[in-house]
C-alpha cells in the first residue's frame, strides 16, 4: 500500500516544484532577444528598435522595474511599447520610473486592453478552447490609461492608437501606422487605411494583438515591419512543442519572435509580465527584443536571430 501511494505523492511533489519554478524562477528570468531585420535599402545605416510589451506591471515588481531600467544602457534609436503596460491603478508611477532611462529616446506606444481594464480572476484552462476577447466585462475603464498615455507623451513618445505619424529614427525617415487593441474592438484600421508613404525610408506598423486581418491590411498598404505583443508567447509552453494557445487569431508557429506576414516582417513579443492572477511562465521566458534593421541583400530569404 505504501508503494502504491508513493507514485501520486511524487507526482504531486513534481507539480509543486514545477509551479515554484514557473512562478518564482522563470517569471523573473528576463531575457533580451536580438534579431537582424533586413528591411533597409542598400547603403543605409542600421538602426536599432527596442520592442517592449505586456509588462502587466504592479507596484511591487521591483526585479522587473530594475531590469527594464537597465535597458537604457542599450541606447536604442527607437523604443516601441505595444501595450498592456499596467495591471494596477497605482502602477503608472512605477512604470514611468522603469521607463525613465528610455523616455529620452524616440518612442511610440499603443494600448492593450489591460491598460484600461483591471485584470480579474479567471480559469486559465478556458484558453485551450477560446480566446479572452470580450471577456473584460467592464464598460467603464478601471485603470488610469489616460494618465499612462500622458506620462509617456509628455516625454515625447507618440500615441499611435488609430493614427499615423512620421518620425526621425537615426538617419531614417519613418512612416508609422498604429491601431488600438482589436481584443476589445477598439481597432479602427479604416482611420489609417491607404498606401503608406512610399518615399519613407521605413514603413512601420504597430498594434497590440497580432490579428491576421489587421496584419494583412498593414502589409497590403506597404508597411514593411509590423510589431505586436499580447500573446505572452503562449506563457505556458511544452518543451520541444511550443505554445498551446495564442489567445488571438495568429497561429502557434508565430506566437513570438520574428517571422513573415505576406510581404512584411512581423515581430511578436512574448512580453515581460503576466496577469497578477496567473503569475507563472513555463518554457517561455519573459523578454524584450532589440531589432537591428539592416540593408536588404539578395540572399535574405528568412529572418535571423542573433545569439
Model pLDDT for residues 63-78, shown as the tens digit of each residue: 999 999 999 999 999 9
pLDDT at 17: 72
Domain residue limits at 253: 33-132+141-297
- Helices and strands, number each (H, E), in the chain: 5, 15
Q: Is residue 205 scored above 50 in pLDDT?
A: yes
Segment 185-209 shows an average pLDDT of 98
pLDDT at 299: 58
Residue 109 lies in a domain: yes
Q: Which residues pair with 267 in a beta bridge?
A: 227, 258
Q: Which of 124, 51, 75, 97 is nearest to 271 (CA)?
A: 51
Q: Are 52 and 291 in contact (CB under 8 A)?
A: no
Residue 88 lies in a domain: yes
Residue 198 lies in a domain: yes
Q: Which of 175, 227, 232, 230 is nearest to 206 (CA)?
A: 227
Cell 497578477 appears where?
A: 276
Q: Which residues pair with 243 in a beta bridge?
A: 237
CA pair distance 108, 227, nearest whole angstrom: 11
Q: DSSP for 138-178? A: -SS--S-HHHHHHHHHTTT-EE-TTEEEEEEETTEEEEEEE
CA pair distance 88, 100, nearest whole angstrom: 19
* Sequence-distant (≥ 6) Cβ neighbours of residue 259 within 8 angstroms: 253, 265, 266, 268, 303
Residue 4's pLDDT band, with cuts at 50, 70 and 90, is very low
Q: Are 280 and 56 in contact (CB under 8 A)?
A: no
109-156 pLDDT, tens digit per residue, is 999 999 999 987 765 555 555 566 655 556 789 999 999 999 999 999
Residue 70 lies in a domain: yes
Query: Could you tell me which residue, 302 or 239, shows the higher pLDDT?
Result: 239
CA pair distance 144, 86, nearest whole angstrom: 9
Segment 162-173 shows an average pLDDT of 97
The mean of the pLDDT values for the chain is 91
Residue 26 lies in a domain: no
Please give the grid coordinates belonging to residue 11.
507526482
Q: Are 4 and 11 in contact (CB under 8 A)?
A: no
Q: Residue 202, Cβ neighbours under 10 Å: how many?
A: 25
Cell 489587421 appears where?
A: 214
Residue 307's pLDDT band, with cuts at 50, 70 and 90, is low
The H or E element that residue 212 is part of is: helix 212-220
Helix (H, G, I), strand (E, B) or coil at 8: helix
Residue 56 lies in a domain: yes
Please give the grid coordinates belonging to residue 253.
508557429
Residue 23 lies in a domain: no
pLDDT at 301: 47
pLDDT at 139: 73
The total number of structural domains in the chain stands at 1
Residue 266 maps to which CATH number?
Answer: 3.60.21.10
Residue 267 lies in a domain: yes
Please give the grid coordinates belonging to residue 274.
503576466
pTM: 0.90
Amino acid at each position: 500500500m505504501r508503494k502504491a501511494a508513493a507514485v501520486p505523492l511524487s507526482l504531486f511533489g513534481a507539480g509543486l516544484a514545477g509551479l515554484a519554478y514557473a512562478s518564482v524562477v522563470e517569471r523573473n528570468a528576463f531575457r533580451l532577444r536580438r534579431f537582424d531585420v533586413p528591411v533597409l535599402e542598400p547603403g543605409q545605416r542600421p538602426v536599432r528598435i527596442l520592442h517592449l510589451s505586456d509588462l502587466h506591471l504592479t507596484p511591487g515588481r521591483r526585479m522587473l522595474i530594475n531590469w527594464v531600467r537597465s535597458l537604457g544602457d542599450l541606447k536604442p534609436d527607437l523604443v516601441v511599447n505595444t501595450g498592456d503596460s499596467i495591471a494596477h491603478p497605482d502602477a503608472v508611477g512605477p512604470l514611468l520610473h522603469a521607463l525613465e532611462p528610455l523616455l529620452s529616446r524616440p518612442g511610440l506606444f499603443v494600448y492593450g486592453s489591460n491598460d484600461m481594464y483591471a485584470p480579474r480572476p479567471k480559469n486559465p484552462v478556458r484558453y485551450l478552447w477560446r480566446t479572452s476577447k470580450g471577456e473584460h466585462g467592464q464598460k467603464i475603464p478601471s485603470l488610469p490609461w489616460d494618465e499612462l498615455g500622458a506620462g509617456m507623451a509628455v516625454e515625447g513618445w507618440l500615441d499611435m492608437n488609430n493614427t499615423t505619424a512620421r518620425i526621425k529614427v537615426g538617419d531614417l525617415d519613418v512612416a508609422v501606422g498604429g491601431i488600438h487593441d482589436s481584443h476589445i474592438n477598439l481597432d479602427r484600421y479604416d482611420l489609417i487605411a491607404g498606401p503608406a508613404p512610399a518615399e519613407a525610408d521605413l514603413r512601420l506598423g504597430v498594434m497590440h494583438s497580432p490579428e491576421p486581418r489587421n496584419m494583412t491590411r498593414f502589409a497590403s498598404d506597404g508597411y514593411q515591419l509590423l510589431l505586436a505583443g499580447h500573446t505572452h508567447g503562449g506563457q505556458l509552453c511544452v518543451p520541444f512543442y511550443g505554445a498551446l494557445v495564442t489567445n488571438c487569431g495568429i497561429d502557434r508557429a508565430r506566437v513570438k519572435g520574428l517571422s513573415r506576414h505576406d510581404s512584411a516582417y512581423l515581430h511578436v513579443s512574448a512580453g515581460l509580465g503576466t496577469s497578477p492572477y496567473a503569475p507563472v511562465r513555463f518554457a517561455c521566458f519573459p523578454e524584450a527584443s532589440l531589432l537591428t534593421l539592416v540593408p536588404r541583400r539578395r540572399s535574405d530569404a528568412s529572418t535571423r536571430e542573433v545569439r
